[in-house]
Amino acid sequence: MEKVSIIIPVYNVEEYLPRCLESCIAQTYRNIEILVVNDGSKDQSLQIIQSFQEKDPRVILIDKENQGLYRARISGVQKASGRFLFFLDGDDYLPSDAVECLLDKAVLHSMDLVVANFYKEENGVVTPIPSFFHEEGVLEREEFQKLIIDNTGDSLCGKLISKTLYDTAIQCPSFTNVTLGEDQVIMLQLCNNISSAYCCCGYSYYYVQRSSSIMHERNNRKLAEQNYYYIVGLFDMMDVNDYKAEIYYRILYRALSACCLYLRSSLLNEDKTNRVRGYVRDFYLNDKIVRRFVLDKNRLVAVMLYIGYFSPRLAKGLSRMRRLFS
């Protein structure tokens, strides 16, 4: 029986953590280890993890100073002894058969990556997230890349990933500083190292929408810095990988959209801002790429980037107008 390592980074989620850990212990597939990385929590999260250790020896505590989500996950991966990894956030939880269903497909079809759909819980109401894996079966690399780039399947959570594949993917040099948005960068790197992935139409994950979620903390310096490293990761990938034209343009669109968001912020590091502006400048010096963006449906992004490069104040005004009329 293949061992699966469930890796849970934890930071100040005492309200949600018991349900998260209970859902892991209750998995119908028993050959698992539950690696819980306490990332410097200041609430009772550490004590909760310790109490679950006493209940089930499969719960393994990794206690460390706060270094962020990416490094917390890496700490878990380094301790993992399973052939497969399954990432879970400390405020989310799992259906009881999540691991079993994904592992069955991985073994049956000799896959290093198996994905499924999510439920969302908000204010106690659970609803299926609109499915992006419409058909059960094998999805070739380019089609899977499109899903990831279009931001519909980019989370590392809820997927079964072979440890060998993951270890290969994170060799990307920009990952030292990647934080927010690193899921999409790593998922794209995973895609670069597979020929196909298996997609399940079922559900493997409950995503809990919290008002204090990091994705809802806007207009702060930390978010601007995190977005910067996301941009660097995407551009570095385009430099080192030989993508086909359609995939390349999709990644470029995501990267330049992130640049647009970054340049609108008023909380920027000057050196990093200049680097992002350099990406935009190079974009406009490449006539072939500019023509492609201006002629297709993404022309607004090209215009906003142009204005953002030469006049950040105008870019903010255009952004506000876009929100008013969208």
In the chain, the N- to C-terminal Cα span, in Å, equals: 52
Strands 32-39 and 59-64: parallel
**Cβ partners under 8 Å of residue 225, min gap 6:** 179, 269, 272
**Cβ partners under 8 Å of residue 284, min gap 6:** 290, 305, 306, 309
Domain 4-209, architecture per CATH = Alpha-Beta Complex (3.90)
> Distance between alpha carbon 178 and the CA centroid of its chain, in Å?
11
pLDDT > 70: what percent of the chain? 61
Q: Which of 284, 281, 187 is nearest to 230 (CA)?
A: 187
Cα separation, 70 vs 230, whole angstroms: 12
pLDDT tens-digit profile of 101-160?
Answer: 999 999 999 999 999 999 999 988 999 987 666 678 998 888 887 777 765 567 899 999
Cα separation, 161 vs 163, whole angstroms: 6
Strands (E), the chain: 4-10, 32-39, 59-64, 84-87, 113-122, 125-128, 137-140, 160-162, 196-208
pLDDT tens-digit profile of 163-215?
Answer: 999 998 877 554 555 544 567 778 878 888 888 999 998 899 999 987 654 44
Give yes or no for a contact between 270 and 227, defined as CB atoms under 8 angstroms apart.
no
Question: pTM for the complete prediction?
Answer: 0.76
Q: Is the pLDDT of residue 247 over 60?
A: yes
Q: What are the φ/ψ torsions at residue 105 (nearest 5 degrees)?
A: -70, -40
Strands (E), 83-222: 84-87, 113-122, 125-128, 137-140, 160-162, 196-208
Give yes or no for a contact between 92 and 206, defined as CB atoms under 8 angstroms apart.
yes
